[in-house]
Amino acid sequence: DSGQLGDGTTTDRSTPVQVRGLADVVAIAGGRWYSLALRHDGTVWAWGQNDSGQLGDGTTTDRSTPVQVQGLADVVAIAGAGWHTIALRRDGTVWAWGNNFYGQLGDGTTTNLRLTPVQAQGITNVVAVAGGSEHTMALRRDGTVWAWGFNEYGQLGDGTTTNRSTPVQVPGMADVVAIAGGAEHTLALRRDGTVWAWGHNEQGQLGDGTTTDRSTPVQVQGMADVVAIAGAVWHTLALRRDGTVWAWGFNNSGQPNDGTTANPLAPVQAQGLPDMGP
């Protein structure tokens, strides 16, 4: 209904339709009711809902076909969030646009809407970015994790619940190789194959066996040899080297796929999947 399928209409589709006018795409990402694409030439394109400027085209007009994000080049990675968007440039700098009510763009302000990209301050040598509902994360080349934005549940991992408009380092996180965001929680995968999480935990999405929010990282119970992680709104997923998929957190619709609808507070294996290993 916001044009997020990119086919020039606002008609819901139950089978795939091609996004109009895009070629040479090398990466895609999704935000809340909007979509993103990174082209081989390093430009970013977006379509769908734009009420917070999350499409980055200088307007707040919804788009049902892709528009180019203004003023960005040499982009190597993109991430969608709730109402803001993140891009990583080849030079290791982070850029963001859209809603900034909690400082989630990282430019040192809480100027509510940025309709074109602004640079996150004080952070360089970034190799990966991720977004939560209203917070942003970055992984630096040295294996440290940094975060900024909304922090009511401790999702920035700095031991506080204070919102941050510039990046702060997550203490105690080293040798991290991947990051991911849920709505209000954050995840890190370390080189040793362990998974760590922090932030909102009402549904057990941190996987530490409790429903206690955490403002510093806690290790997910019983997870080893993990090679990939993903965050959803209130649940979390991990892929192990042996090709098995594990999940924990909110389970009202069977999200962890363990055959129950109870919220698992620690990882359970998803059932009935073929080998998903690398």
Q: What percent of the chain has pLDDT over 90?
A: 91
pLDDT tens digits, one per residue of 45-97: 999 999 999 999 999 999 999 999 999 999 999 999 999 999 999 999 999 99
Question: What pLDDT does residue 273 have?
Answer: 80
Residue 56's alpha-carbon distances to 44, 97, 224, in angstroms, are 9, 6, 39
Residue 110's alpha-carbon distances to 106, 107, 163, 257, in angstroms, are 9, 8, 10, 40
pLDDT tens digits, one per residue of 185-222: 999 999 999 999 999 999 999 999 999 999 999 999 99
Nearest to 30 by CA among 46, 17, 15, 42: 46
Ramachandran quadrant class, 124 (left: phi over 0; alpha: psi -120 to 50; beta: rest): beta
Query: CB atoms < 10 A from the CB of 109, how many?
Result: 14
pLDDT tens digits, one per residue of 10-22: 999 999 999 999 9
Strand 226-231 and strand 235-240: pairing? Answer: antiparallel
What DSSP character marks residue 220? P
Is-contact 148 134, C-beta < 8 A?
A: no
pLDDT tens digits, one per residue of 93-133: 999 999 999 999 999 999 999 999 999 999 999 999 999 99
